[in-house]
Structure 1
Amino acid sequence: MQLRPTLDFLLYDWLGAESLNQRPRFADHSRETFDAVFDICEKIAREKYAPFNRLVDTQEPHFDGEKVTLPQATHDAQKAYAASGMLSAAQDYEMGGMQLPYTVEASANAFFAMASVSIGSGMLTTGNANLLMVHGSETQKEVFAKNEFSGRFSGTMCLSEPQAGSSLSDVITRAVPDGDDFESDLLGARYRLSGNKMWISSGEHELTENIIHLVLAKIPGPDGKLIAGTRGISLFIVPKKLVDIEGKLTGVRNDVALAGLNHKLGWRGTTNTLLNFGEGKYPVDGKAGAIGYLVGQPHQGLRCMFHMMNEARIGVGMAATMLGMAGYYASLDYAKNRPQGRLMGVGGKDASRPQVRIIEHADVKRMLLAQKSYCEGALALELYCAKLVDEQHTGQAKAADDARLLLEVLTPIAKSWPSEWCLEANSLAIQVHGGYGYTRDFPVEQYWRDNRLNMIHEGTHGIQGLDLLGRKVLMEEGRGLLLLADRMQATVLRAAQTAELAQHGEQLAKALAHLQSATQAAWSTGETGPALANAVPYLQGFGHTVLAWIWLDVALATKAAIDAKSAAHSGAFLTGKLGAAAYFYQYELPKTAAWLRVVETREMTCADFPEESF
């Protein structure tokens, strides 16, 4: 795969990920062990995933009323993934893990996302188990999380409901104590759940022995009524099949039923489901109600679930990035081999002259360079966030707390920016292919369809924008934004010492100042409505400013490699990085001014537009 050189450069030359093995948790590792993991994952992705990407797109999951059927290739790929140890890669040895840095785990998973995001890997299962490792009881960790890490069980997250969508305040799934002794169950306080959950990825299949659903539901008060808003939400483990205290299947099917499969634009190889909990199709002990075990404390469910949601948002960002990258590589190969037309100004329209390859046309270069700047920049962003996770968990107290706060601010960007701009890269990949691009003879139309889902997965742009402008840049008196600004300014200062990059540094400093002033202006009146009316343009302006910073920092590492005459990377490879950075500064960063202008003026054109005038 063409990915490896860029991944190696970003990890080792830019982020210095090799130094992570100096920390006690990662002391058994070295660059050699990191590279061995990449070799294995790249091989599995190449052999078990990539050849079947079109197959799983055309042979969608089939539900016969009782059982979901998936292609054999999906079973084989999931089995190989579990055997690789990647489900528990970052876990303690005692949990069957490898104690790898999350930075390495995220990098290794990139190979699978690029080969076939539709087959999927283990994002939800690992996220489910990781949540239980933080918020679950010791028994829940042993019975559920450990079996998920081994690949014996798989996991889901069940948040949305048909009538509520992303509005978790309106969740109405109920959880009532299962008898008077409900607190005595060794697996956790036992409840009966009833309700419906929609858009549940991997909600039903036969790929694993069991499926562990993490379900948000509300426990009624003494008057039988549900507490309004998110304050009343609790979190429950609801297994598809009931298990005993040792994790063995009891032979009893829980009252969780598949109501139907959602037929999607993309990601067709992964089931997406409507699940009915407690409808009575599979009564337990003769009664309707899905058995669920409380995770953590009552009414703390959303706080617990955010652990998985934030992890999933970085995972979605990486999936979007790698779909963009797959399209970029496909269109680059096509452009190098497709002859068409002649260069203007070189013999004019003389049809007797030989055709040139389309990569020689300036506009095709523009489209390729845009893709390169979006996708490689997005990959750098995701890896930077992954390293912040390692810093938060293994760094010294001050550094760990800074990493925590930076992640709070950057997570909406890590999810939303690649899902918008790597989707645009996929659109450009289709354009490079011309008419062939929207046919199924070439893979780029599928990459676009698969990627279009990522703008909705784990929270739409609207939700991410409200989270960023309404919460993240304000929390702890704005300290997260100040920390991020300090890091950007440090990069600007370094760039000022490099003649080739000094101008980029000046442009970044100007964009950062505009971002800070727009943030203050948005909230200057203290009115929430006008402040958040343009939360998505704010998200876009913020995201482009962050990516400009990322590209400048990568460019500085590139320049250092050139100056050191590094033999690890070719001159053309390094020149490509500098060219992509230059493209972003010349063509993309100027867009931030327009986005931030409507934020700072609290423009109300959209908010005030009368419904009847549409």
Structure 2
Amino acid sequence: MSLRPTLDFLLYDWLHAESLAERERFADHSRETFDAVLDTCERIAREKYAPSNRIVDTQEPHFDGERVILPQATHDAHKAFVESGMLSAAQDYDIGGMQLPYTLSAAANSFFAMASVSIGSNMLTSGNANLLMVHGTEMQKEVFAKNEFAGRWSGTMCLSEPQAGSSLSDVATRAVPDGADFQDDPLGPRFRLTGNKMWISAGDHELTENIVHIVLAKIPDENGKLIPGTRGISLFIVPKRMVDTEGRLTGERNDVALAGLNHKLGWRGTTNTLLNFGEGKFPVGGKAGAVGYLVGQPGKGLFCMFHMMNEARIGVGTAATMLGMAGYHASLEYAKARPQGRPAGPAGKDSARPQVRIIEHADVRRMLLAQKAYCEGALALELYCARLVDEQKTGAAQAADDARLLLEVLTPIAKSWPSEWCLEANSLAIQIHGGYGYTRDFPVEQYWRDNRLNMIHEGTHGIQAADLLGRKVLMEDGRGLQLLAGRIAETMARAGKVPALAAHAAALGDALQRIGTATKKAWATGNPQEALANAVPYMQAFGHVVLAWIWLDVAHRALERDADKGQPATAGRVGATDFFFHYELPKIGAWLNVVESRDPTCAALPEEAF
């Protein structure tokens, strides 16, 4: 079963991605060049990534005392990815990019995530370089970002610490000026960093000749004390190996040491590390302290870092989606081939009759349809967000501003919804395989293990929920929520005229109104503790309403192309829409009940009662 027909429909029939070639930035492109990129990435994913997915799961990275060792398959896949040019696909021609729309870049990278997410598509490297292209100096762009885009160097982001995971205000890594002589360094004001960073993906390896760490740290005040909260946080470039202004390695190792590799449930093809900065193991110029170059203004580190974090959140959502999709395709293939049992009813009691394939059982179809609704719906959402990125960057002024605000509201959903529901899809894929699904002889158990990370990294579920209800739906006097409601209303108006979709349009209208009511009631007292106590149920309901809208819009477009539902793909899209509205959307009532009443059950229970 191929992903390509689904991608083609979403890109060209639904999002009209080929129309982006009419814009000046993408004028050299066409449907033909877009398809060529998709063909190339699909081939690399099939030939270099998919065959190695089990290898990188079983041959975990290990440290031999000097180097981190990864299987050869990872090196081969990384080399093929770099040679494809996808690291800089969306960048300008003058730095070696293709000026490809982000929509197409996101679609093309989905092949790699589906084939082997733990080898990955270098999301952090491109995100790191993109951050520097926005907030870095010209020299930082030239030396660091361009070498990352070229695949010569790779990148990380170093936020969390052993004592401060998602609580970035408690970051304790220090950065002090490296003497007056280095404040005019061509690579940026030079500091010495000391501290520890935890959960650093791709924090050490030998895939590239250098690793560019983007590190959050605090600059002490004049009394040598760290400023509490987020005000004192600044951002630094800390290379693993020291470089000159021409991007050449000087031969000197920076004072960044691998303290250990984390041994993970899944996603084992990528190292996850604890790094020590400035412990003196690799003193630079005979002096302890990791050399770091300031990015942007002092105290503005989080502002800069959120550029990378928001991009990474959409990337995490896409990874979760494609792992779910991989499980769906595997369990669909299995269900079509596996004979087990007989139909319900008198005829099924005749043991002389041949067994039927399990796809003929209603409950197996329920599980398959749930996976399809979750995963294909999530893919549509991620591509819609990618299309908003292109609109923000190349659209007319008002359209670009609307896209910016819609992205603000949708980013927590784009990260959280697939990470919850495509994980559920992976669980259903195991269930369809029965006992075989719980063994390593079939791939679905690995998909579940790999996907379990996505609810955690780049901001946990609870953090995304607090961001959505505590900030995103309120920002700019709720204009983002109003914009989203307007787009949903447009879809409802069109779909309401189609008999097969009219009832769904009405149900979506009721659900949208309920979200508005719940938002107001959650904040009725103005007390953040009361409003946010049930932020996760709010986000779950909000996400389900967004996905119902996405499915209604997709189904409407499918029926426009194929009014008599003669094509199986159209019947599948309408069927997934029916499933979502009948089985999933009604769940929002239970979630929003506790939001509207500001139910105190969880927050009020005393600790000793647990």
Place the TM-score, normalised by the shorter chain, in its bin: over 0.9
Aligned position for 2:381? 381
In 2, the alpha carbon distance for the partners of 1:471 and 1:406 equals 13
**Cα deviation digits, residues 527-585 of structure 1 (max 9, x gap):** 111000000000100000000000000011011011399xxxx7111110000010000
Aligned position for 1:444? 444
Match of 2:581 among 585, 588, 597: 585
**Aligned partner of 1:592: which letter?**
I
Alignment of 1:421-432 (within 5 A): 421-432=421-432
Aligned position for 1:603? 599
Would you identify which runs of 4 or more consecutive aligned residues in structure 1 move more than 2 Å? Answer: none
In 1, the alpha carbon distance for the partners of 2:121 and 2:262 equals 20
In 2, the alpha carbon distance for the partners of 1:230 and 1:549 equals 37
Aligned position for 1:181? 181
**Cα deviation digits, residues 429-467 of structure 1 (max 9, x gap):** 000000000100000000000000000010111000000
Q: CA deviation at 1:492?
A: 0.6
Aligned position for 1:72? 72
- Where 2:191 maps in the other structure, the secondary structure is strand
- Where 1:237 maps in the other structure, the secondary structure is strand
- Where 1:229 maps in the other structure, the secondary structure is coil
**Aligned partner of 1:389: which letter?**
V
In 1, the alpha carbon distance for the partners of 2:246 and 2:284 equals 20
- Where 1:590 maps in the other structure, the secondary structure is helix
**Cα deviation digits, residues 236-264 of structure 1 (max 9, x gap):** 00000000000000000000000000000
**Aligned partner of 2:270: which letter?**
T
Alignment of 1:471-482 (within 5 A): 471-482=471-482
- Where 1:184 maps in the other structure, the secondary structure is coil
- Where 2:354 maps in the other structure, the secondary structure is coil
The question of 1:459 aligning with 2:459 is answered yes
Aligned position for 1:516? 516
In 1, the alpha carbon distance for the partners of 2:190 and 2:277 equals 15
In 1, the alpha carbon distance for the partners of 2:242 and 2:425 equals 45
Aligned position for 1:215? 215
Alignment of 1:192-211 (within 5 A): 192-211=192-211
The question of 1:35 aligning with 2:35 is answered yes
Aligned position for 1:572? 568
Alignment of 1:16-35 (within 5 A): 16-35=16-35
Q: CA deviation at 1:346?
A: 5.0
In 1, the alpha carbon distance for the partners of 2:249 and 2:504 equals 60
Aligned position for 1:95? 95
Segments of structure 2 that go 5 or more residues without pairing to the other structure are none
In 2, the alpha carbon distance for the partners of 1:41 and 1:595 equals 40
**Cα deviation digits, residues 130-183 of structure 1 (max 9, x gap):** 000000000000000000000000000000000011100100000000011232
In 2, the alpha carbon distance for the partners of 1:65 and 1:388 equals 46
In 2, the alpha carbon distance for the partners of 1:50 and 1:112 equals 8
**Cα deviation digits, residues 273-303 of structure 1 (max 9, x gap):** 0000000000011111000000000000000
Aligned position for 1:344? 344
More deviation, 347-356/293-302: 347-356
In 1, the alpha carbon distance for the partners of 2:525 and 2:220 equals 39
**Cα deviation digits, residues 72-102 of structure 1 (max 9, x gap):** 0000000000000000000000110000000
- Where 2:457 maps in the other structure, the secondary structure is coil
In 1, the alpha carbon distance for the partners of 2:213 and 2:348 equals 64
Aligned position for 2:294? 294
Segments of structure 1 that go 5 or more residues without pairing to the other structure are none
The question of 1:227 aligning with 2:235 is answered no
The question of 1:253 aligning with 2:253 is answered yes
TM-score normalised by length of structure 2: 0.99
In 1, the alpha carbon distance for the partners of 2:341 and 2:412 equals 43
In 1, the alpha carbon distance for the partners of 2:490 and 2:525 equals 31
Alignment of 1:131-142 (within 5 A): 131-142=131-142
Aligned position for 2:395? 395
Alignment of 1:415-564 (within 5 A): 415-563=415-563
Q: CA deviation at 1:391?
A: 0.2
**Aligned partner of 2:109: which letter?**
N
Aligned position for 1:10? 10
- Where 2:467 maps in the other structure, the secondary structure is helix
Instruction: State the percentage of identical aligned residues.
Output: 77
- Where 1:529 maps in the other structure, the secondary structure is helix
- Where 2:180 maps in the other structure, the secondary structure is coil
Q: CA deviation at 1:65?
A: 2.0
Q: CA deviation at 1:120?
A: 1.1
Alignment RMSD: 0.8
Q: CA deviation at 1:348?
A: 3.1
The question of 1:356 aligning with 2:352 is answered no
